Chain A
Amino acid sequence: MSIPSFIPHEKMSDETFVLNLGPQHPATHGVLRVKLTMDGEYIARAEPVPGYIHRMHEKMGENRTYAQFLPNTSRIDYLSAMHYTHAFVGAVERAARITVPPRAEYVRVITSELNRISSHLVWFGAFLLDLGGFTPLLYAFDDREKILDLLEGITGSRLTYCYYRFGGLYNDVDADFLKGTRDFTAYMRPRLDMYRALVTDNIILRKRLESIGPISAEMCRKYGATGPVIRGSGVAYDVRRIEPYSVYPEFQFDIPVYPEGDCMARYLVRMEEIVQSLRIIDQALDQLPEGPVMAEKVPRVIKLPPGDYCYAVEAARGRFAVRIVSDNKDIPYRVKLRAPSFSNLSLYEEASQGMMLPDALALMGSLDLVIPDIDR
């Protein structure tokens, strides 16, 4: 007698029932609702119903100046705020042809990568929580706290940073931050070894994740899934490498790719990415040039020449792109925010079909959703 982990749609019975997962449910990490049509514990259809925390950031962008809209960008995906600000700042700089001083670019890379690590640590804890393992959450938050302290020291905020400004940074980093970051990278590596020994190699975890929720590279492409999701399906797609921005081409780092496409692959990709981010931070600290952190001659009121401008960054969850359409006024004509979680979740309906409820939740956790990022 063997209970299958998956039954195909055509073998399901007609006796289904609808189970509302969310908008308040422990596994959805926010106000996402998934309308599940279930055959017993098997999912016949999972239809995500987003929109519960829709704030219409794109409309807000159309009635305030570029500088006024900047803080909004860090509130879309509150876990990787640096990347989101980076994309918006980058798009404006690209359009206004502002050259950012090298020191500012290096600090941007350092803070972005720190933010990526903190985001992945939250995911690590929350994902294990989804799988019923409580303890890693506290350890991950302990490490994340160190990053938040570092970033708070230079930006003044702990989560929704508004540190990048058009043409550079809000302020220069101090010696405490540089030393603290060095200490952190030295501290984090043994911690990752510990996580590997305690969590990653645990047989229960492996059994729960291996060959669960397979997503093919083709599916990622068709749905536009990016970030660790597509890299866990064997495609080395990383905006930092494929459309290099900032000073990323100057660093040596690998793009972790696992071809299996299952939840374990996505798990391993993210864990490996933390290591790579530490590598980038170390290199950036070594090469950090002296100089100003703000470009000269940044106009007080920014008016972009007419046209549309894109800027994409590799956020923690995948490709985040900003498209600004300008009509030569001091407020944008249109701001399009292309959020990675939106596309990553859009494949959930197809990917979760026939899975059992706990596995489908493991799949959802492995997509690393941030609900405000979906709803914007």
Chain B
Amino acid sequence: MNISEPIRLLLFLAGIMAFVGFNAAYLVWVERKGAARFQRRPGPTEVGFAGLLQPIADALKLLSKQVIVPPTSDAILFRLAPVLVMSPALMCLAVIPFGETLVARNINIGLVMVFAFGSINVMAIMLGGWASRNKYAVISAARVVSQDVAYEIPMLLVVITLLMVTGTMDLNQIVRQQAGWFWHWNLFKLTANPLMPVTFVIFYICMLAETNRAPFDMAEAESELVAGAFTEYAGMGFGVFFMAEYANIVVGCSVATVLFLGGWQSPIGVWSGPWWFLLKMYFLVFSVIWIRWTFPRTQFYGLLNLSWKILIPVSLFTLVLSSIMLKLF
């Protein structure tokens, strides 16, 4: 591997973009196929083998549609929002270690970068909703902001707990610490903090809420707000929001895998590699899809009360517990 750094970076970025694009397209297929199986129906079957070409057909259809910008909307922000919603997902993936050396840019504050860019997604949806100047979209935008502010706090508290255990923000370093059998994963580091599984559950719930996935899909809530912030978007404008949703799920699940499930480390101690990372990540992605097609939507105030009354106190408690354990042992 004797290629110069700029070319390597360029290749990696192209790879990440392809990865995100491929995932966004084929997670839609997985979601549709999975939902169909949960609902005892075949799902897409017509386009290609087992409907495998369906995402491409969908993309072609969306691309061929006119991008309508409503005359009353704020045209610049309206066009900016889909761009803004997609780019942070790409940025975040640049620091995620897919394998020991398979990382676009290994920086020592990778975790900070992920969360810094991760919250831009919220702003993008808010902008989209606000710029549409549609009442449903504005309600949705207001919901997204209050929801994500509420869930950012327990998520970061949990991450701080984890940082106390790992002592580093370098994502690759965090993965290396979890080498060996699966009980070395941060998820099972009970000696460092007996509540580690709880922190994972909190992280997972917050990730669902941050990515606006059911049962916390307040932003879209199609039976209440038509399509929420995306109501006025047509064609690929809508398509980009749609892809960004999956891209953000991939990012969220990747971070969860790296932080709690040992990243590319093998659970049995041998044959570590990127395949383990992908396996774990896709398992989490599948669970996200699974949850969506199983549960009804929560109430909006129920959602906020869950965050402020349960998740934040519990995550604060784990934080305190962690620091006590750190001091004692």
Contact = CB atoms under 8 A, between A and B. Distances in A.
Interface stretch (A152-160, A328-336, A353-361): A353-361
B101 interface: no
Contacts of A19: 135-136
Given A5-B299, A208-B299, A358 B224 contact: yes
Contacts of A131: 223, 296-297
A206 B223 CA distance: 18
Contact of A5 (B39, B143, B226, B301): B301
Nearest to A27: B223
Nearest to A361: B224
Interface in A1-46: 1-5, 17, 19, 25-27, 40-41
Contact of B300 (A130, A134, A358): A358
Given A1-B308, A26-B222, A26-B223, A139 B296 contact: no
Interface residues of B, number: 32
B293 A135 contact: yes
A361 B293 contact: no
Contacts of A356: 299-301
Contacts of A357: 139, 224
Contact of B302 (A40, A133, A207): A207
Contacts of A138: 39-41
A142 B221 contact: no
A135 B39 contact: yes
Interface in B263-305: 293-302, 304-305
Nearest to A17: B135
Nearest to A5: B301
Interface in B155-199: none
A129 B38 CA distance: 15
Contacts of B301: 3-5, 356
Interface string A252-273: 0000000000000000000000
Contacts of B297: 131-133, 204, 208, 358
A195 B224 CA distance: 24
Interface string A203-222: 01101100000000000000
B327 interface: no
Interface residues of A, number: 34
A344 B285 CA distance: 43
B298 A133 contact: no
A361 B41 contact: no
A276 B226 CA distance: 36
Which of B136, B217, B224, B304 has the most C-beta atoms of chain A within 10 angstroms of its own C-beta? B224
Interface in B130-144: 135-136, 139, 142-143
Nearest to A28: B223
Nearest to B306: A207
A207 B298 CA distance: 8
B221 A139 contact: no
A361 B223 CA distance: 8
B321 interface: no
Nearest to A20: B135
Nearest to A4: B301
B28 interface: no
Given A17-B135, A19-B135, A139-B39, A132 B217 contact: yes
A25 B222 CA distance: 9
A202 B296 CA distance: 9
Nearest to B294: A135
Interface string A110-123: 00000000000000
Contacts of B302: 207-208
Given A131-B296, A138-B40, A2 B224 contact: no
Interface of B: 35, 38-41, 135-136, 139, 142-143, 214-215, 217, 221-224, 226, 293-302, 304-305, 308-309
Interface of A: 1-5, 17, 19, 25-27, 40-41, 128-135, 137-139, 142, 202, 204-205, 207-208, 356-359, 361
A-B pairs with the 6 shortest C-beta distances? Answer: A132-B297, A133-B296, A3-B301, A138-B39, A131-B296, A132-B296
Given A26-B226, A129-B223, 8 more contacts: A1-B308, A2-B308, A19-B135, A25-B226, A132-B221, A135-B35, A137-B39, A358-B300
